[in-house]
Amino acid sequence: MLFSGSDILVKTLIEQGCETVFGYPGGQILNVYDSLYKYQNEINHVLTAHEQGAAHAADGYARTTGKVGVVISTSGPGATNLVTGIATAYLDSIPMVAICGNVPTTQIGTDSFQEIDITGVTLPITKHNYFVGSVEDLADTIREAFKLAKSGRPGPVLIDVPKDVQIAKCEYEPQPPVERDEPFAAKDVRIEEAAEIINAAKQPFIYFGGGVIISNAQEEVLALAEKIDAPIGCSLMGLSAIPTVHPRFLGMQGMHGHYASSMAMHNSDVIISLGVRFNDRVTGNRSKFAKGARIVHIDVDGSELNKTVNSVCGLRGDVKLTLQKLLPLLTESKKEEWTAKVDTFRAEEKTCLDNREGLTPRRAILTLNRHLGENTAVCTDVGQHQMWSAQNLNFRTARRFASSGGLGTMGYGFGAAIGAAYGTGERSVLVTGDGSFGMNLNELATAVRYNVPVVVIIMNNGVLGMVRQWQTLFYDRHYSSSVLERKTDFAAFAKSFGADGEAVTTPEELDAALSRAFAYSGPYIIDCKIDRDEFVLPMLPPGGSMDDIITKLEVEL
């Protein structure tokens, strides 16, 4: 049967299992929106306030479900507004398909109204992108895009569909959803090499990242830790894979990582890295990074091996499948001395904990923990609040934390929290700062319009806290353009958008406000007043090593 390109586009999305898509209509994508109208009983479209919000929502949906997130926009400014969202997904390996309209093929290259070369623009921030020149290619291109987005190391794929291709007609036959490429384990000879190195280790450390969540390898990671008696740490992207309370879990690595976790990695003799890259925020000064350690690195993306730090053994393969083959080759052992040493790091960490009274950032997150259900997704924006969340949230379930790790996108959180609520089918939480929240607070309109229950906690300190922290430490306290001095009343703002909210100044007030927020049907904003000179600690100064770690604030404020 003959269908128009726009019908084929929507039918192919449905065929691929899309239930909810996010987007914003416009001139060159109107036909697709007409088809979305036609098939509205089979596919749900969420209209955001801005295309960037839609891209982040698709990302939040993908992170919480593991499915491909889909975002749709028009040409020109609609397409360029997706760029930050696509780049965020690219840096964090999130499966996403972005579909843009474009001017008819006859007008391409003539600088028509709202024409932009979006495949050119997104070349370095997509796994691949497509310009669909004829309607006959459309369905298969979308299928290929879904396959690419979720295969190997996932990532965003963009499809540019000119208007005449949306209008043209051709045959369409539904097909079953595409499967991701069959995952594979690393080569046996490499696995044997790795086993030899790990068996000889006296102070092994397991360092994992988002790859463990993607390949669903939590069980294998824990089995590895048990067998070789090793502590576990992770990157920001790995958070939520292993429950915070797990006795072997030391927490996050890096510039603001947990002290014990960073110390254990620094003092280890073998680092077993699983689905994780050695970002500069993790290693600090690379030449001083974990000098005594030999690195065994398992990653599905071969280009990550030896990219920034040299591993003695690089294994290209799926983390789960590779660990399953590796585990039987390992000898079980107890490492009392190493465990004792790690325990001293834990003890030291305890002495550095911030136990001050009042509404401190840590106390705010600990208060939030009491209200979180097992399935509640917590999203963050970027800055101090993000690190406080990463350090103090009680993670219980994988895929229930969404934060822009690689790109560090301020303004990511609200869109992501909306996407996460759709993904989990439950109330989601956004922890943000007054700076980040200011970037995409327009999405409150979306949450109100669709009655999406998002609890927003704004760590409101009136400044760009992370910038201020750096300016305090490294720029002679020149607070250049980091003092916001806005007069925003966030509770009133919430009410004016049709939501509800309140301001709190003590942990008790926050606790009561959270109770109201978690019972409220719809978005609820809590303006959480904190001090402007709160610091994120510990901190590894940029380019520093563990010898330079700052655990206590010694600057006179």
Least separation, in Å, of the C-beta of 234 and another protein? 24
Residue 27 contacts by C-beta under 8 Å, 6 or more apart in sequence?
74, 75, 101, 113, 114
Least separation, in Å, of the C-beta of 279 and another protein? 16
Contact residues for another protein (CB under 8 A)? 119-120, 123-124, 127-128, 131, 148, 301-303, 305-307
Nearer of residues 131 and 172 to another protein, judged by Cβ: 131
Measured from the Cβ of residue 200, the count of other Cβ atoms closer than 10 Å reads 12
- DSSP-assigned beta bridge partners for residue 463: 483
Of 127, 163, 325, 529, which is the active-site residue?
163
Least separation, in Å, of the C-beta of 272 and another protein? 21
113 given a catalytic annotation: yes
| CB of 316 closer than 8 Å to CB of 300 | yes
Nearer of residues 127 and 256 to another protein, judged by Cβ: 127
Nearer of residues 123 and 555 to another protein, judged by Cβ: 123
Nearer of residues 130 and 259 to another protein, judged by Cβ: 130
Least separation, in Å, of the C-beta of 57 and another protein? 26
- DSSP-assigned beta bridge partners for residue 529: 460
The SS3 call for residue 61 is: helix
466 given a catalytic annotation: yes
How far is the C-alpha of 492 from the C-alpha of 269, rounded, in Å? 55
The residue type found at 107 is Q
Of 15, 51, 115, 534, which is the active-site residue?
51
| CB of 361 closer than 8 Å to CB of 530 | yes
Per DSSP, the residues of 462-500 read SB-HHHHHHHHHHSTT--TT-B------HHHHHHHTT-E
| CB of 330 closer than 8 Å to CB of 198 | yes
Of 42, 107, 114, 288, which is the active-site residue?
114
Of 113, 184, 226, 350, which is the active-site residue?
113
51 given a catalytic annotation: yes
How far is the C-alpha of 28 from the C-alpha of 161, rounded, in Å? 9
| CB of 379 closer than 8 Å to CB of 437 | no
Nearer of residues 305 and 530 to another protein, judged by Cβ: 305
Of 255, 439, 466, 539, which is the active-site residue?
466
Residue 529 contacts by C-beta under 8 Å, 6 or more apart in sequence?
359, 460, 461, 503, 504, 505
Q: Which residue has the tokens 């920034």?
A: 308
DSSP state letter for 70: E
Using alpha carbons, select from 276, 143, 305, 271 the residue that is nearest to residue 215. Answer: 276
The SS3 call for residue 196 is: helix
Least separation, in Å, of the C-beta of 102 and another protein? 14
Least separation, in Å, of the C-beta of 113 and another protein? 23
What ranges in 406-477 are assigned the alpha helix state H?
Answer: 413-424, 434-440, 444-449, 465-474
Nearer of residues 302 and 541 to another protein, judged by Cβ: 302
Least separation, in Å, of the C-beta of 288 and another protein? 19
Nearer of residues 89 and 454 to another protein, judged by Cβ: 89
Residues known to be catalytic: 51, 113-114, 163, 466
